[in-house]
Amino acid sequence: MEEYLKFAKKLAGESAEIARKYFSFEVENTWKDDDTPLTQADEEINDLVIKRINEKYPNHSILGEEKSDKKEGSQYVWVCDPIDGTISFACGLPIFTFSIALVNQSNGQPVLGLINDPIMKNMYWAYKDSGAYRNGQKIFVSRDTTLKNTYLNTGASGRHVGFSTLPFIKSLIEKKCSQLKFPSFIYGGVQVANGKFAGAVLFGKNAHDAAALKIITEEAGGKVTDLNGGERRYDQEGLGCVLSNGILHDEILKDVQGGKLK
Protein backbone atom coordinates (compact mmCIF):
# COMPACT_ATOMS: atom_id res chain seq x y z
CA MET A 1 0.00 0.00 0.00
CA GLU A 2 2.90 2.39 0.65
CA GLU A 3 3.99 1.92 -2.96
CA TYR A 4 0.47 2.64 -4.21
CA LEU A 5 0.29 5.71 -1.96
CA LYS A 6 3.60 7.05 -3.26
CA PHE A 7 2.32 6.59 -6.81
CA ALA A 8 -0.99 8.34 -6.02
CA LYS A 9 0.78 11.29 -4.40
CA LYS A 10 3.04 11.76 -7.43
CA LEU A 11 0.02 11.57 -9.71
CA ALA A 12 -1.80 14.15 -7.58
CA GLY A 13 1.20 16.45 -7.86
CA GLU A 14 1.23 16.19 -11.65
CA SER A 15 -2.52 16.78 -11.82
CA ALA A 16 -2.15 19.87 -9.62
CA GLU A 17 0.35 21.37 -12.07
CA ILE A 18 -2.16 20.94 -14.90
CA ALA A 19 -5.03 22.39 -12.86
CA ARG A 20 -3.02 25.43 -11.79
CA LYS A 21 -1.82 26.00 -15.35
CA TYR A 22 -5.39 26.44 -16.60
CA PHE A 23 -7.06 27.92 -13.53
CA SER A 24 -8.21 31.54 -14.00
CA PHE A 25 -11.31 33.64 -14.57
CA GLU A 26 -10.85 33.00 -18.31
CA VAL A 27 -11.27 29.21 -18.24
CA GLU A 28 -13.32 28.04 -21.23
CA ASN A 29 -15.66 25.09 -20.99
CA THR A 30 -17.96 23.00 -23.15
CA TRP A 31 -21.04 21.12 -21.99
CA LYS A 32 -21.44 17.36 -21.74
CA ASP A 33 -24.57 15.37 -22.52
CA ASP A 34 -25.54 15.43 -18.83
CA ASP A 35 -25.48 19.26 -18.92
CA THR A 36 -22.38 19.56 -16.73
CA PRO A 37 -19.31 21.57 -17.79
CA LEU A 38 -16.08 20.13 -19.16
CA THR A 39 -12.72 21.90 -19.39
CA GLN A 40 -9.44 21.05 -21.07
CA ALA A 41 -7.94 20.51 -17.62
CA ASP A 42 -10.51 17.76 -16.84
CA GLU A 43 -9.55 15.89 -20.00
CA GLU A 44 -5.79 16.37 -19.68
CA ILE A 45 -5.75 15.17 -16.08
CA ASN A 46 -7.96 12.17 -16.89
CA ASP A 47 -5.65 11.28 -19.82
CA LEU A 48 -2.61 11.64 -17.56
CA VAL A 49 -4.16 9.28 -14.98
CA ILE A 50 -4.79 6.62 -17.63
CA LYS A 51 -1.28 7.00 -19.06
CA ARG A 52 0.52 6.81 -15.72
CA ILE A 53 -1.50 3.83 -14.44
CA ASN A 54 -0.99 1.90 -17.66
CA GLU A 55 2.76 2.58 -17.41
CA LYS A 56 3.06 1.54 -13.76
CA TYR A 57 0.24 -0.98 -13.29
CA PRO A 58 -0.78 -2.27 -16.75
CA ASN A 59 -3.07 -4.94 -15.27
CA HIS A 60 -5.14 -2.42 -13.30
CA SER A 61 -8.37 -0.92 -14.63
CA ILE A 62 -9.21 2.79 -14.58
CA LEU A 63 -12.65 4.29 -13.99
CA GLY A 64 -12.48 8.01 -14.69
CA GLU A 65 -15.21 10.62 -14.84
CA GLU A 66 -14.28 11.58 -18.40
CA LYS A 67 -12.58 8.43 -19.74
CA SER A 68 -12.02 4.88 -18.50
CA ASP A 69 -9.81 1.92 -19.40
CA LYS A 70 -11.25 -1.34 -18.12
CA LYS A 71 -9.21 -4.56 -18.16
CA GLU A 72 -10.85 -7.96 -18.10
CA GLY A 73 -10.19 -9.82 -14.85
CA SER A 74 -8.24 -7.03 -13.12
CA GLN A 75 -8.02 -7.22 -9.33
CA TYR A 76 -7.92 -3.45 -8.85
CA VAL A 77 -9.55 -0.43 -10.44
CA TRP A 78 -8.40 3.16 -9.90
CA VAL A 79 -11.50 5.34 -9.54
CA CYS A 80 -10.71 8.96 -10.38
CA ASP A 81 -12.37 12.35 -10.55
CA PRO A 82 -9.81 14.58 -12.31
CA ILE A 83 -11.50 17.80 -11.19
CA ASP A 84 -14.39 17.51 -8.77
CA GLY A 85 -15.95 20.95 -8.89
CA THR A 86 -15.60 21.77 -12.58
CA ILE A 87 -18.35 24.38 -12.22
CA SER A 88 -16.29 26.44 -9.79
CA PHE A 89 -13.05 25.72 -11.69
CA ALA A 90 -14.66 27.05 -14.87
CA CYS A 91 -15.78 30.19 -13.01
CA GLY A 92 -12.34 30.88 -11.56
CA LEU A 93 -13.37 29.91 -8.03
CA PRO A 94 -10.84 27.86 -5.99
CA ILE A 95 -13.26 25.19 -4.78
CA PHE A 96 -12.25 21.97 -6.54
CA THR A 97 -10.24 18.82 -5.88
CA PHE A 98 -8.47 15.90 -7.50
CA SER A 99 -9.68 12.55 -6.17
CA ILE A 100 -8.46 9.01 -6.70
CA ALA A 101 -9.14 5.69 -4.98
CA LEU A 102 -7.82 2.17 -5.43
CA VAL A 103 -10.76 -0.23 -5.28
CA ASN A 104 -10.61 -4.02 -4.87
CA GLN A 105 -12.96 -5.43 -7.48
CA SER A 106 -13.61 -8.61 -5.52
CA ASN A 107 -15.89 -6.66 -3.17
CA GLY A 108 -16.04 -3.15 -4.64
CA GLN A 109 -14.42 -1.57 -1.56
CA PRO A 110 -11.62 1.03 -1.65
CA VAL A 111 -8.31 0.06 -0.04
CA LEU A 112 -6.66 3.44 -0.62
CA GLY A 113 -7.91 6.97 -1.21
CA LEU A 114 -6.34 10.36 -1.88
CA ILE A 115 -7.92 13.80 -2.27
CA ASN A 116 -5.88 16.87 -3.21
CA ASP A 117 -6.80 20.55 -3.11
CA PRO A 118 -4.22 22.08 -5.50
CA ILE A 119 -4.92 25.70 -4.55
CA MET A 120 -4.83 25.49 -0.74
CA LYS A 121 -2.30 22.63 -1.06
CA ASN A 122 -4.10 20.29 1.30
CA MET A 123 -3.64 16.62 0.50
CA TYR A 124 -5.69 13.99 2.33
CA TRP A 125 -5.00 10.27 2.16
CA ALA A 126 -5.62 6.93 3.81
CA TYR A 127 -5.21 3.27 3.14
CA LYS A 128 -6.71 0.27 4.89
CA ASP A 129 -5.82 0.09 8.61
CA SER A 130 -3.39 3.02 8.37
CA GLY A 131 -5.39 5.96 9.72
CA ALA A 132 -6.19 9.12 7.75
CA TYR A 133 -3.88 12.07 7.15
CA ARG A 134 -3.80 15.66 5.93
CA ASN A 135 -0.34 16.71 4.73
CA GLY A 136 1.19 14.04 6.96
CA GLN A 137 -0.76 14.96 10.09
CA LYS A 138 -3.17 12.34 11.41
CA ILE A 139 -6.80 13.48 11.36
CA PHE A 140 -9.92 12.33 13.16
CA VAL A 141 -13.66 12.87 12.86
CA SER A 142 -15.41 15.14 15.35
CA ARG A 143 -16.87 13.89 18.62
CA ASP A 144 -20.11 15.88 18.29
CA THR A 145 -23.10 14.15 19.88
CA THR A 146 -25.75 16.54 18.58
CA LEU A 147 -26.32 18.23 15.24
CA LYS A 148 -26.93 21.58 16.93
CA ASN A 149 -24.22 24.13 16.06
CA THR A 150 -22.46 21.77 13.66
CA TYR A 151 -21.81 21.85 9.90
CA LEU A 152 -23.12 19.37 7.36
CA ASN A 153 -22.24 19.19 3.67
CA THR A 154 -25.17 18.47 1.33
CA GLY A 155 -25.03 17.44 -2.31
CA ALA A 156 -27.32 18.22 -5.21
CA SER A 157 -31.03 17.41 -5.56
CA GLY A 158 -31.77 13.76 -4.89
CA ARG A 159 -34.84 13.23 -7.06
CA HIS A 160 -32.90 11.19 -9.61
CA VAL A 161 -32.10 8.67 -6.85
CA GLY A 162 -35.57 8.69 -5.31
CA PHE A 163 -35.18 11.28 -2.57
CA SER A 164 -36.41 14.80 -1.92
CA THR A 165 -33.83 16.93 -0.13
CA LEU A 166 -36.44 19.39 1.20
CA PRO A 167 -37.54 17.38 4.30
CA PHE A 168 -33.87 16.70 5.05
CA ILE A 169 -32.90 20.38 4.88
CA LYS A 170 -35.98 21.34 6.92
CA SER A 171 -34.98 18.90 9.66
CA LEU A 172 -31.42 20.26 9.75
CA ILE A 173 -32.72 23.83 10.06
CA GLU A 174 -34.98 22.82 12.97
CA LYS A 175 -31.99 21.20 14.68
CA LYS A 176 -29.90 24.35 14.13
CA CYS A 177 -27.39 22.49 12.00
CA SER A 178 -25.73 24.69 9.37
CA GLN A 179 -25.80 23.24 5.86
CA LEU A 180 -23.13 24.01 3.30
CA LYS A 181 -23.35 23.06 -0.36
CA PHE A 182 -20.18 23.26 -2.43
CA PRO A 183 -19.81 22.98 -6.23
CA SER A 184 -17.42 20.15 -5.31
CA PHE A 185 -19.01 17.59 -2.99
CA ILE A 186 -15.62 16.05 -2.27
CA TYR A 187 -14.23 19.46 -1.23
CA GLY A 188 -16.76 19.62 1.58
CA GLY A 189 -17.11 15.89 2.18
CA VAL A 190 -13.49 15.39 3.21
CA GLN A 191 -14.07 17.85 6.07
CA VAL A 192 -15.93 15.06 7.88
CA ALA A 193 -12.66 13.12 8.14
CA ASN A 194 -10.87 16.38 8.94
CA GLY A 195 -13.11 16.85 11.98
CA LYS A 196 -14.70 20.10 10.80
CA PHE A 197 -18.09 18.76 9.63
CA ALA A 198 -20.37 16.36 11.50
CA GLY A 199 -21.54 14.77 8.26
CA ALA A 200 -22.08 14.96 4.52
CA VAL A 201 -24.75 13.50 2.25
CA LEU A 202 -24.27 12.74 -1.44
CA PHE A 203 -27.50 12.42 -3.42
CA GLY A 204 -25.82 10.98 -6.50
CA LYS A 205 -24.84 7.69 -8.11
CA ASN A 206 -21.26 8.17 -9.31
CA ALA A 207 -18.49 6.10 -7.76
CA HIS A 208 -15.87 8.77 -8.42
CA ASP A 209 -17.71 11.18 -6.09
CA ALA A 210 -17.55 8.79 -3.14
CA ALA A 211 -14.75 6.18 -3.40
CA ALA A 212 -11.87 8.16 -1.87
CA LEU A 213 -14.15 9.73 0.74
CA LYS A 214 -15.28 6.27 1.87
CA ILE A 215 -11.91 5.01 3.06
CA ILE A 216 -10.55 8.37 4.25
CA THR A 217 -13.64 8.96 6.42
CA GLU A 218 -13.61 5.47 7.89
CA GLU A 219 -9.87 5.54 8.60
CA ALA A 220 -10.46 8.84 10.45
CA GLY A 221 -12.95 7.02 12.70
CA GLY A 222 -16.17 7.84 10.87
CA LYS A 223 -18.89 5.85 9.18
CA VAL A 224 -20.07 5.67 5.55
CA THR A 225 -23.16 3.98 4.11
CA ASP A 226 -25.45 4.47 1.14
CA LEU A 227 -28.64 6.53 1.45
CA ASN A 228 -30.53 3.51 2.79
CA GLY A 229 -27.93 2.76 5.45
CA GLY A 230 -26.43 -0.23 3.65
CA GLU A 231 -23.12 -0.96 1.96
CA ARG A 232 -22.49 -0.18 -1.69
CA ARG A 233 -19.79 -0.87 -4.23
CA TYR A 234 -17.38 1.88 -5.23
CA ASP A 235 -16.42 0.53 -8.65
CA GLN A 236 -19.85 1.21 -10.14
CA GLU A 237 -22.90 3.39 -9.65
CA GLY A 238 -24.65 3.22 -6.28
CA LEU A 239 -27.22 4.91 -4.09
CA GLY A 240 -25.24 7.96 -2.98
CA CYS A 241 -23.57 8.00 0.42
CA VAL A 242 -23.92 9.31 3.95
CA LEU A 243 -20.68 10.27 5.71
CA SER A 244 -20.60 11.00 9.42
CA ASN A 245 -18.51 11.01 12.56
CA GLY A 246 -20.24 7.70 13.42
CA ILE A 247 -21.94 9.05 16.53
CA LEU A 248 -24.54 10.99 14.54
CA HIS A 249 -24.86 8.55 11.65
CA ASP A 250 -28.21 7.03 12.55
CA GLU A 251 -29.73 10.46 13.18
CA ILE A 252 -28.51 11.84 9.85
CA LEU A 253 -29.67 8.72 8.06
CA LYS A 254 -33.12 9.00 9.63
CA ASP A 255 -33.39 12.59 8.43
CA VAL A 256 -32.33 11.55 4.93
CA GLN A 257 -34.92 8.75 4.90
CA GLY A 258 -37.59 11.32 5.73
CA GLY A 259 -37.28 12.54 2.15
CA LYS A 260 -37.55 9.13 0.48
CA LEU A 261 -40.01 9.27 -2.39
CA LYS A 262 -42.86 6.80 -2.26
- DSSP secondary structure string, the chain? -HHHHHHHHHHHHHHHHHHHHH-STT---EE-TTS-EE-HHHHHHHHHHHHHHHHH-TTSEEEESS-EE--TT-SEEEEEEEEETHHHHHTT-S--EEEEEEEETTTTEEEEEEEEETTTTEEEEEETTS-EEETTEEE------SSTT-EEEE-S--GGGTB-HHHHHHHHHHTTPEEE--SSHHHHHHHHHTTS-SEEEE----GGGTHHHHHHHHHTT-EEE-TTSS---SSS--S-EEEE-STTHHHHHHHHHTTB--
Please give the pLDDT value at position 62. Answer: 98
User: Within a domain: residue 144?
Assistant: no
User: Within a domain: residue 262?
Assistant: no
Residues 110 and 168 in one domain: no
204 vs 209: CA distance, rounded Å = 8
- Write the single-letter amino acid at 77: V
Of 105, 139, 173, which residue constitutes the final position of a domain?
139
CATH number at residue 177: 3.40.190.80
Residues 85 and 157 in one domain: no
Residues 132 and 183 in one domain: no
Confidence (pTM): 0.95
User: Within a domain: residue 93?
Assistant: yes
Of 81, 108, 139, which residue constitutes the final position of a domain?
139
Domain that includes residue 112, residue range = 2-139
Residues 37 and 160 in one domain: no
Spell 248-261 as b/e; 16+ CB within 10 A means b.
bbebbbebbeebee
Residues 134 and 9 in one domain: yes
Please give the pLDDT value at position 77. Answer: 98
Residues 188 and 86 in one domain: no
Residues 160 and 199 in one domain: yes
Averages of pLDDT over each 10 residues, the chain, 262 residues: 97 98 90 86 96 98 95 96 95 96 98 98 97 98 98 82 91 96 95 98 95 98 97 97 98 95 82
Q: What is the 3-state secondary structure (H, E, C) of 61-100?
A: EEEECCCEECCCCCCEEEEEEEEECHHHHHCCCCCCEEEE
Residues 128 and 21 in one domain: yes
Residues 163 and 90 in one domain: no
Residues 7 and 135 in one domain: yes
Q: Residue 94: how many CB atoms within 10 A of its CB? A: 13
User: Within a domain: residue 19?
Assistant: yes
13 vs 19: CA distance, rounded Å = 10
User: Within a domain: residue 133?
Assistant: yes
What phi and psi, each to the nearest 5 degrees, are found at residue 63? -115, 105
What are the beta bridge partners of residue 117? Answer: 122
Please give the pLDDT value at position 3. Answer: 97
Residues 110 and 196 in one domain: no
Please give the pLDDT value at position 151. Answer: 97
Residues 18 and 38 in one domain: yes
Number of domains in the chain: 2
User: Within a domain: residue 145?
Assistant: no
Of 139, 166, 196, which residue constitutes the final position of a domain?
139
98 vs 78: CA distance, rounded Å = 13
